[in-house]
Structure 1
Amino acid sequence: MTGSRSPSRIFAFVGVGVALAALALAFAGKSIGHFLVVADSLHRSDAIFVVAGGTPARELGAAALYHLRYAPLVVVSLAKDPLPAESRNLAGELSPQERSVRILERSRISSSAIVRLTQEVESTREELQEDFNYALANKFRRVILITSPYHTRRVRTIWDFQYESMMAALVSPTPFEPFDPDRWWRSRHELELSVHELLGVAHFLVGSPLPRYSPRP
């Protein structure tokens, strides 16, 4: 019939499209991977803030910087726990914040050098707001924000847009969590992480309209 397309032609078009997409990804892949990773030059600061998540890699990175004397304090946020407290208690597990503190203490950081923030946060944007509030209240001049390599661009973007003019921050990727910016699309795990971060940056730039978690009934 005139105007109809055979299945073989449709599959051919799909195949060409997939090939072109793969070729574009191959050329753009390294650029995207390196875009995601920010590693500022570090200088002595007033505190190291452990961005929530990525446990234990971020805490271990913070401990390493602490022992290199980049800052006298390590600050841990109170991230919203995706599990109800009852589930944690039944399993005998620590909360995310207490787990972070336990790792820091096992890394030979004294409890007097660990600060627990008390305002619960559920997104990177909210967390950095609380980090800034604490830093401002304590008259800090410069802080270090340590997170996973693939998460550093989002942290840098949010801080630059909202706080850098008032408080200097240095963003550092933890060396304890591997991420290859040249090969980020070659495993499902790193591809998922990278796409999540690109969407996270875009979500912030359009005003963060969606909450991270659905409200609990």
Structure 2
Amino acid sequence: MKDYRRNETGGILIKLAVSLFLMTFFLALYLVRHPIFRFMAESWVIEDPLGKADALIVLSDDNFYADRATRAAELFREGKAPVVVASGRRLRPSAGIAELMEHDLVERGVPKDKILRLAVDADSTREEADALAKLAKTKKWHRAIVVTSNYHTRRARYIFRRVFPQDIEILVASARDGDFDPESWWEKRKSTKVFMREIGGMAVTIWELRSGREAPTASQGIVEWRAPNPQSLV
């Protein structure tokens, strides 16, 4: 009987110790959740050291504040590239996001004859990269700077460096995003959805490109290409 009671008491003490440990662990995790969330987002956002390039490529679907266009205009004024590619999905036979982006770039000081407007039929970053790779190969560019939203930088670089020909160097520039702040993204429902969707998109991208670098395929999505002044393509 004594052995039974001793074993029962020992079992209760072990359960209490385990419960106390788990409570302490989860309490500590709760208290440091903000630094962890911040570290997750800051690790996700990347920017390459930016040198001179043949073109700045602004990816489609800029936000309400035109943050991608703003960042591209800043880099253009810094002399990072002589031409800016306004890439955008076609919304109508004669209009699309590329036209809107061109307007945003001009408003921010990029001369219209330095903008290469490219309307594409693309439902994903991968398809957009295919169309842009074809353009870059035609133009014989050697280096391009891809400008996209901060939360999208890691996935964009992963895709472009596998879709573009190996002889074209891809650099990525991060544009701040009014809807996603790495310092406090978990406080807003929209920011949380953006980040979670991006993580899911990265998983899909890795699966789709798991065979490694793939040669770019000819895209039928290039529906409009308004060539700039020849002096802009140097």
Same fold (TM over 0.5): yes
Q: Are residues 1:38 and 2:46 paired?
A: yes
Counterparts of 1:176 and 1:30 in 2: how far apart (Å)?
A: 15
Aligned 8 A contact 1:152 1:173 in 2:
yes
Q: Which moved more, 1:106-115 or 1:193-202?
A: 106-115
Q: Which moved more, 1:44-53 or 1:29-38?
A: 29-38
Q: How does 1:57-206 map to 2 (within 5 A)?
A: 57-81=67-91, 85=92, 95-163=96-164, 165-175=166-176, 177=178, 179-206=180-207
Q: What amino acid is aligned across from residue 130 of structure 1 in structure 2?
A: A
SS of equivalent to 1:40: coil
- How far the C-alpha of 1:63 sits from its partner, in A, is 0.9
Compared with structure 1, are the counterparts of its residues 133 and 189 closer, same or farther at alpha carbon in structure 2 (3 Å cutoff)?
same
What's the CA shift string for 1:125-180, capped at 9, x where partnerless? 11111122111111111001001111111101112333373311110111464643
Counterparts of 2:197 and 2:52 in 1: how far apart (Å)?
A: 32
Counterparts of 2:31 and 2:162 in 1: how far apart (Å)?
A: 34
Compared with structure 1, are the counterparts of its residues 183 and 119 closer, same or farther at alpha carbon in structure 2 (3 Å cutoff)?
closer
SS of equivalent to 1:76: strand
Q: What amino acid is aligned across from residue 187 of structure 1 in structure 2?
A: K
Aligned 8 A contact 1:35 1:153 in 2:
no
Compared with structure 1, are the counterparts of its residues 23 and 165 closer, same or farther at alpha carbon in structure 2 (3 Å cutoff)?
farther
- How far the C-alpha of 1:27 sits from its partner, in A, is 6.2
SS of equivalent to 1:191: helix
Percent identity among equivalent residues?
A: 27
Compared with structure 1, are the counterparts of its residues 22 and 187 closer, same or farther at alpha carbon in structure 2 (3 Å cutoff)?
farther
Counterparts of 1:200 and 1:33 in 2: how far apart (Å)?
A: 15
- Tell me the residue number matched to 1:12: none
- How far the C-alpha of 1:31 sits from its partner, in A, is 3.2
SS of equivalent to 1:185: helix
Count of matched residue positions in the alignment of Structure 1 and Structure 2 = 186
RCO higher in structure (CA 8 A, sep ≥6): 1
Q: TM-score, normalised by structure 1?
A: 0.74
Bigger radius of gyration: 2
Q: TM-score, normalised by structure 2?
A: 0.69
Aligned 8 A contact 2:133 2:163 in 1:
no
SS of equivalent to 2:187: coil
SS of equivalent to 1:71: coil
Compared with structure 1, are the counterparts of its residues 180 and 108 closer, same or farther at alpha carbon in structure 2 (3 Å cutoff)?
closer
For structure 2, the 5+ residue unaligned runs are 1-22, 210-234
Tell me the C-alpha RMSD between the 2 structures: 3.0
Counterparts of 2:89 and 2:27 in 1: how far apart (Å)?
A: 42
Counterparts of 1:165 and 1:184 in 2: how far apart (Å)?
A: 35
Compared with structure 1, are the counterparts of its residues 25 and 73 closer, same or farther at alpha carbon in structure 2 (3 Å cutoff)?
same
Aligned 8 A contact 1:75 1:116 in 2:
yes
Aligned 8 A contact 1:52 1:79 in 2:
yes
Q: What amino acid is aligned across from residue 44 of structure 2 in structure 1?
A: L
Compared with structure 1, are the counterparts of its residues 130 and 30 closer, same or farther at alpha carbon in structure 2 (3 Å cutoff)?
same
For structure 1, the 5+ residue unaligned runs are 1-15, 209-217
Aligned 8 A contact 1:63 1:107 in 2:
yes
Aligned 8 A contact 1:75 1:115 in 2:
yes
- Tell me the residue number matched to 1:9: none
Counterparts of 1:80 and 1:31 in 2: how far apart (Å)?
A: 36
